[in-house]
Amino acid sequence: MSLVGRSLDRRAKRFVAWNEERIGAARGIKWAMRYVFPDHWSFLLGEVALYSFIVLVITGIFLALFYIPSDHMVTYHGSYAPLQGFRMSEAYQSVVHISLEVPAGLLFRQTHHWAADIFNASILLHLTRVLFTGAYRKPRDLNWMIGLTMLTLGILEGFAGYSLVDDLLSGMGLVIAYAVSMSIPLIGGQLSILLWKGAYPGASVFFPRLEILHVFLIPALLAVLITLHLGMIMRQHHSQFPGRGRRERNVVGTPMWPAYALRSVGLLLAVAGVEFLLGGLIQINPIWQWGPYHVYLSENGAQPDWYIGWLIGALRLMPNFEPRIDGFTIFPNPFWGGAAFPGFVFAVMYLWPWAQRKLTHDYRPHHLLHRPRDRPVHSAIAAAFLSWVLIVFMVGATDRVFFRLDISYQDEIRFWRGGVWLFPIIVFLVTLWVCRWLQRHDPHPLRGWDGQVVEPVQISDPLQDREQQAAGTHAPPAGG
């Protein structure tokens, strides 16, 4: 052990002793320090989201000090020449002020926005990893649902965040949100009036409501769910890939102290570093260029942030279908793309673990992951489903394709109305073929382990232990 390592070790021991003398926490801390993380880079994707959340909270607190959630109209007399004399809401003016006059305001605003985009993107990547490796299976299905709930909240949080600004893009986004909420059968009208307190653009209370949602309610919920998510991981232990020395009932990997904690801190610094670099070097949502929102204004090519893009794609792709009964429109068109589509996608994801159990008749708990190729049909279904959503997402950018490649917008929409069903079938078949090809060309189990086995943790399963005691056997259960 190096000199630095020894000094760290001594400090850690002193830290434990300090705690023990005051709150008697040595046992808990020692348990946490010995917690073993299985080694695989893809297990760090969720941590990217966690650390983005931390960056979001820190930058968000800074922004909240200057933001004014008010639709009170004022005349601009700030430092930005093209906006001189514009009538605008105080909300928009305060964000222009943050961007152009508050020291480091623009850095914090842009970092906040980039961190939000990366937060949702890393959750999605983490979700994909969990889906393809089967990490969502019992007993982690509950945690899978918590994760999905966090993604839903992350999307809502992001939308609320950029809607607070009251610039041209956020106004154009809010009016679509209003139309979608109006389109929900039976309750839509009441719901929209409840949220906006009247017809669009709503009453003065709307921005304060949105702000509380954005800076308090959703972040607090996210914090609670993150705690639950991590707490459940600690309790259930990480799942791990199969390999030499790795079984269903142990965890092989790197302990929290002195290795993994430092690695994780490194990742925290990298996440903060990348996000602040983006915030300082690449412009995001230059609201002074978009100008303030008024209901009579719009601009060409307006788009939502990427995590709302799939809904715009769905709204564009949906044919003109509005069932009527006796002259009354039961399902207004925005309902399909804006509410039914995301509802269906999330419902499928929430029910995925249950459906997997039903379809495979596999009700056992699983602590060992499978690699995507080990379950070709499962991987193919997952890939086809995700590609279905991805195509809908891409359709949100068809106007840019028209502009750049001159493929007629109407033709593109017509093509994808068929393609959105055809391509997932192709993806299904290709994934199946690739998985089987990989299986043939790569012996199983494939992951050689050349590291040191550090303190394998025995996972106690009270039910199974009792059964084994009753049966008088101590044979380990079958792996895989």
Partner 1 sequence: MRSLLARWRRPSRLPRKPRLLLAVALGLGASIMWLLTPAAPAKRLDRVHQPAAVARITQGPFAPGPGSATVPTVSSPALIALGRTLFDQRCASCHGLHLQGRKGVAPSLIGVGAGPVHFYLSTGRMPLANYHAEPLRESPAFDPRRIRALVAYVRHAGGGPASPTAHPARGSLALGFQVFDSHCAGCHQIVARGGMTVGALVPNLQQATPQQIAEAVRMGPYLMPRFDSRDINQHALDSLARYILWTRHPSNRGGWGIYNIGPIPEGLVTFFMGLMALVIVARLIGERTE
Residues 184-243 that bind partner 1 (CB under 8 A): 243
Closest to partner 1 by CB, 281 or 325? 281
Closest to partner 1 by CB, 162 or 207? 162
Positive or negative, the CA dihedral 101, 105, 107, 110 is negative
Rounded Cα distance between 358 and 40, Å, is 29
Rule CB under 8 A: choose which of 145, 153, 232, 302 binds partner 1. 302
Rule CB under 8 A: choose which of 282, 325, 463, 478 binds partner 1. 282
Rounded Cα distance between 50 and 44, Å, is 10
Rounded Cα distance between 267 and 48, Å, is 7
From residue 443 to residue 462, the character string flagging contacts with partner 1 as x (rule: CB under 8 A) and all else as - is ----xxxxx-----------
Question: Where does this chain touch partner 1 (CB under 8 A) — which range of 118-126, 143-151, 221-229, 314-322?
Answer: 118-126
Residue 373 near residue 242 (C-beta atoms within 8 A): no
Closest to partner 1 by CB, 126 or 378? 126
Report if residue 399 touches partner 1, rule: CB under 8 A: yes
Report if residue 169 touches partner 1, rule: CB under 8 A: yes
Question: Where does this chain touch partner 1 (CB under 8 A) — which range of 63-71, 204-212, 298-306, 375-383?
Answer: 298-306
Closest to partner 1 by CB, 410 or 473? 410
Ranges within 130-159 binding partner 1 (CB under 8 A): none
Ranges within 95-114 binding partner 1 (CB under 8 A): 99-100, 106, 110, 113-114
Residue 322 near residue 185 (C-beta atoms within 8 A): no
SS3 label, residue 166: coil
Closest to partner 1 by CB, 42 or 468? 42
Nearest to 35 by CA among 227, 238, 266, 239: 238
Nearest to 49 by CA among 135, 131, 148, 140: 148
**In the bound complex, what is the minimum distance in angstroms from residue 40's beta carbon to partner 1?**
6
Report if residue 391 touches partner 1, rule: CB under 8 A: no
CA 166 to chain centre: 24
Amino acid at 285: N
Residue 170 near residue 164 (C-beta atoms within 8 A): yes
Ranges within 11-40 binding partner 1 (CB under 8 A): 39-40
